[in-house]
A = this chain, B = another copy of it.
């Protein structure tokens, strides 16, 4: 008998600029398999041009979030990062640092504590298609 897995590594293939995926079910499955009844799950993207947040995962809200990011950090402004590296993803770095790359969500009675219309989403903010690596760890007992 082995101890139940408390961590998981996922890879998601996401489109450029705002490729997104609802990963709530993947995270809930990890929580269930971990056997943890009371604690929290930390979900984190490895990288500096993506984000993890929660949103009602429907086309409209996602488009609205993208438009807000287009205004906060437009793709085609003059970025100091682009001047140095010529990779054109200066806007991606700014968006990622603002949205941030991880969330911590409580687990109570073995259940992930999210609202009915609240989903955990991974977003690729880079200017090219990416295989984004996300890790989840459940802590508690």
Q: Using CB atoms and an 8 Å cutoff, list the residues of chain A in contact with chain B.
A: 6-7, 9, 38-40, 42, 44-48, 53-56, 58-61, 63-65, 68, 71-73, 79-85, 90-91, 93-94, 96-108, 113-115, 117-119, 133, 135-137, 139-140
Contact = CB atoms under 8 A, between A and B. Distances in A.
Given A54-B100, A100-B54, A117-B47, A93 B64 contact: yes
B85 A44 contact: no
A60 B83 contact: yes
5 contacts: A7-B38, A61-B80, A97-B99, A113-B135, A139-B140
Q: Could you tell me the dominant secondary structure of chain A's interface residues? A: mixed
Nearest to A82: B60
B104 A104 contact: yes
A122 to B, nearest CB: 13
